[in-house]
Chain A
Amino acid sequence: MRTPIAYFLVTSGLLFAIGTVGVLIRKNALLIFMSIELQLNAVNLSLIAFSRMHGSLNGQVLAFFSMVVAAAEVVVGLAIIVSVYRRTGSVSVDDVRELRG
């Protein structure tokens, strides 16, 4: 018996929502970043599910690209967060307040 596609889409929507809430309520830059990664992976899941639903490969191709992009984002993002940490000794977005706003 095949699992209905809708289940995957619901799971993906839930994961994306959890990631979104995580970004909005977390104060630690690393945790915010992890929530963003969760969002991206949620999107990958729905891409694969849609790809199955339409029987076309486009979605899977896009999922491949999004994985590589996510890895590139990890590298750049962590480099930035590490340099902030080395400068201020904290990665809380509340402590980083040299700029107003």
Chain B
Amino acid sequence: MLPTPKLDFLPVLPELILAGAGIVTLLYEALAPRASRATHLGLSLVGLAAAAGASIALWDRTGDPTVLAGAIQADRLAVVARVIIISVAAVGLLLGTHYYDRSGDERRGEFYPLVLFATTGMTLIVAAADLIVVFLALEILSLSLYVLTGMSRRGQATEASMKYFLLGAFASAFFLYGVAMAYGATGTTKIAGIAHALAGQTGGQALALVALGFLAIGFGFKVSAVPFHMWTPDVYQGAPTPVTAFMAAATKVAAFGALIRVLDVSFQPLAWDWMPVIWALAAASVVVGSVLAIAQSDVKRMLAYSSIAHAGFVLTGLTAANQDGIRAALFYLIAYAMMTLGSFGVVMLVSVRGEERTSLASYSGLGRRQPLLAGLMALFMLSLAGIPPTAGFIAKVGVFGAAIRAGHWQLALVGVVSSVAAAFFYLRVVVLMYMQEPQGEEQEEDRSPLPRLALAVPAILTLVLGVFPQMLLGVLDKASVLRW
């Protein structure tokens, strides 16, 4: 008999619950003759709540840093990232239910299991301690997102889905080749094992560097860093808005969570080699994202370019390659997830049914027509621009500070200059909403309370984190210690 591996399923309990909830909703959709959205939503939210509870319970866990034969990491970074992803998924599900109710689309009951499976992949990737698990989790989340992107009758959604799929699969191939090379260079696929192998060797690490390059390409696509960002505007614009909200916010958290582990654990011994690469990616993303966003006339495309710029800011924090940088990046990710989720949520409510009104022009005079929505949008725009007293401001200060303390003041300078340029197009939306007359005749407005309630969560967090950042920073101090 082979020794049975010691089984400690607690650290993967959140994933098991999420996958279980996904299976339950899938079977409900298949077996119930008249599956209703309300039941779907209820089942999914119960699953998400249970998963969130299970991950918070892991906060005070002591014992082995990895479980299940070194496949799963049980540390606080995973707990924090999971809770963000699960909250984003919950708001995404609420928005999606409303969206499909209004758009008069077919039933689309598969929306719920697919979001739950994507969430499973995202939480698994931040807890993965083995590159095999990272790859599998990456595929679970990507395959679900490809299908979610196409979940609409509009031709644009199908087209976006195809583009996302082709480029995503291309990136996966690079990522897998990177894993293969890391395995070839070190003889292991364990994230910590690679670090031990690399630290023990002197010189001749060509293969490990190539592996790092390929992994960086794979991650670059997933976090949409320049020059791997080409798919982002098309996909964010074409996908149904609640799906865009969910994937823009949660995928970035998940991919960065895994990237932090790969860079700051596996390839920590080669930190001086990867730092310039991440430096260049960060600078390019910040500049290109901010500049191209100015030229956009569609608000979803504008937010897509803005998300590219924000990926650059998170990378700025990571160039520090220390706990300081990880903490700043985590704070930035939380702030980013909240404000992106919120602004896409407002976009969904403004376009009433489906994707009717996503041009910037439809925002003129919104302050008079829908004061509450306009207020929310203004808050998110100020936060995205990094203006106090919002979470976006504290987050930017954090990543620039981390970069400067690590000696990358030039990068921080690039970031600050780009932020100033970027403030232009965020503030343009605010100006349109409050200082222009409504255009065109009176149109139908969406005044449903439920999605507004859902948007209160990111709005409150954006404000609270901007005014009392200490509440979260204490938690992140503990979460940014990587145990391995």
Contact = CB atoms under 8 A, between A and B. Distances in A.
Interface in A71-100: 72-73, 76-77, 79-81, 83-84, 87-88, 93, 96, 98-100
Interface residues of B, number: 39
Given A29-B162, A65-B132, A43 B180 contact: yes
B184 interface: yes
B361 interface: no
A42 B237 CA distance: 34
B160 interface: yes
Contacts of B183: 47, 50-51, 54, 58-59, 62
B308 to A, nearest CB: 12
The 8 closest A-B pairs by CB, nearest first: A39-B173, A50-B184, A54-B187, A99-B234, A43-B176, A36-B169, A69-B139, A43-B177
A62 B132 contact: yes
A80 B150 CA distance: 8
Interface in B132-149: 132, 135-136, 139, 143, 146-147
14 contacts: A39-B170, A46-B184, A50-B183, A53-B184, A56-B188, A62-B183, A65-B135, A72-B139, A73-B143, A80-B161, A80-B162, A84-B158, A87-B155, A99-B237
B221 to A, nearest CB: 13
Interface string B156-174: 1011111101100110111
Interface size class, chain A: 35 or more
A96 B143 contact: no
Interface of A: 9, 16, 19, 23, 29, 32-33, 36, 39-40, 42-43, 46-47, 50-51, 53-54, 56, 58-59, 61-62, 65-66, 69, 72-73, 76-77, 79-81, 83-84, 87-88, 93, 96, 98-101
Nearest to B292: A101
